[in-house]
A and B are shown apart, each in its own frame.
Chain A
Amino acid sequence: MTEMISFEKVSKRFGATVVLDEFSFTLKRGDKVAIIGPSGSGKSTLLRIMMALEGIDSGKVSLNGETLWHASGGKNLIAPSRKHLRHMRTHVGMVFQNFNLFPNLTALANVATAPHLVLGLPRKEAEARARRLLEQVGLGDKLSNYPAALSGGQQQRVAIARAMALEPKIMLFDEATSALDPERVGEVLEVMRALAHERDLTIVVVTHQIGVARAIADRICFMENGKILEQGVPAAILDRPQNDRTRAFLRAVHPG
């Protein structure tokens, strides 16, 4: 069984707005998927559901064979206790649009604190792991810098290292490059590309920047109004879109 992520007819609404509409979706271990689409299409909510930061109204979401959410008609069939959610989060790591680094911790501390406190690694080991990861993302010389002293691109790379430090099987990127200046996108994209080379890592990237989708994904899904309208390999979706809405979106957004 290599199904890593599975959404079965998931619906969610915020008040009167339907954000996900009987959404179904599966990812196998090692898949690299990019989800593109206009704002309000439900892309970010999708990631937040996978990260157990939001619940669902109906349907079923499973990660790595275990059920994360199961609800019907707005009622939960699986009790979403904090313990259950925290357990399910062991499979997933997330990188946010606004980085969300902890401002009072150095880069090293930002990456090392979770392995130390959450995984229980001894401090020295956690810091060694953090050092290694920060060197991998090219920030080996910025270990003792605070986030305020780092550029956006550097902060996001620290954020990626921080998420990877817990060795998740699934990495979620929520508009990871959208808050960066164009010159800075490259350095973060490099890191994401390197991650995409890891065969066993399942990656879901939500973005409205087509260049990012093209660089990372082996499958692209176009989402609008809470549903997937079209999915396929990058070449197919980006160069020969079948659906009118997909075409309209790509035209509006301009490649790159």
Chain B
Amino acid sequence: MSLDFSLSFAAQIAPTLARGAGVAFVAAIGGFLVALVAGGLLAAMQRSTVRGLSITGRWLMELLRSTPLLIQVYFLFFVLPDWGIVLNPVMTGVVALGLYHGAYVAEAYRAVLDNLPAGQWDAADSLRFSRYQSYRYLMFPQLVLPLTPALGNTFITMLKDTPILAAVSVPELMFAANDVGAQSFRYVEPITLAALAYLFMSGVAALVVLLLRNWIKGRYQ
């Protein structure tokens, strides 16, 4: 067999692949939003004064971070229906991505919160701001900039994790590429295109994160 990259075939399958890339992108965004929330919950659990909550939080984090995303996806896909929760594959993927990366986001939240100078809290308390007011008006703006690299990386990694969802037949990019290959018996074009597409997407995402970071710097400082 010889390497035979047909540009015309590549052009032919591009739209199919593009659709898959779109699904991947949407799944990554959904997963990202879930991760932001899940991370917040996990971080709050770990900081909680209720012992049960903080211990559960820590074990959940350990579980989410030490086990493969693929197995977690399988778990949600196969076990949730048994518990009466039926989600379509894309939703399952979004939740799985969100929980898995939520653990990393929780770590980022923790690191950033711990790095806030203690003096800021002294000042806020001495001026009698409520907890909520302190977080919302005083602390949060200070936390946004340091969080951008971690959150940006999370999103990019999530994009690159989307092909795992192909295992539960989410019609994303890799799934589409495989499909094309299986039907046409030409694997070279679709898989190469797909690999390059991931490179392109993560490059664009990295650029966006950089621009966002500069915008935030300009706005909050």
Contacts and interface: CB of A to CB of B under 8 A. Distances in A.
Interface string A60-80: 000000000000000000000
Contacts of B126: 51, 53, 89, 92-94, 96, 163
Given A114-B128, A117-B129, A146-B221, A104 B122 contact: no
A98 interface: yes
B133 interface: yes
B182 interface: no
A90 interface: yes
Interface of B: 117, 119-120, 122-123, 125-131, 133, 137-138, 141-142, 220-221
Task: Classify chain A: how many residues form its interface, as a range.
Answer: 20 to 34
Contact of B127 (A52, A98, A103, A118): A118
B145 to A, nearest CB: 9
A235 interface: no
A83 to B, nearest CB: 10
Interface of A: 51-53, 82, 86, 89-90, 92-94, 96, 98, 100-105, 113-114, 117-118, 146, 148, 159, 162-163, 166
B156 to A, nearest CB: 27
A98 to B, nearest CB: 5
Contacts of A166: 127-128
A92 B122 CA distance: 13
A51 B133 CA distance: 19
A104 B123 contact: no
Give 5 closest A-B pairs by Cβ, nearest first.
A100-B123, A104-B141, A100-B119, A114-B127, A94-B126
Contacts of A89: 125-126, 128
Among A98, A101, A102, A148: residue with most chain B CB under 10 A: A102
A92 B127 CA distance: 9
Contacts of B131: 82
Given A117-B137, A118-B133, A100 B120 contact: yes
Given A100-B119, A104-B221, A53 B142 contact: no
Nearest to A115: B127
Nearest to B125: A53
A163 B142 contact: no
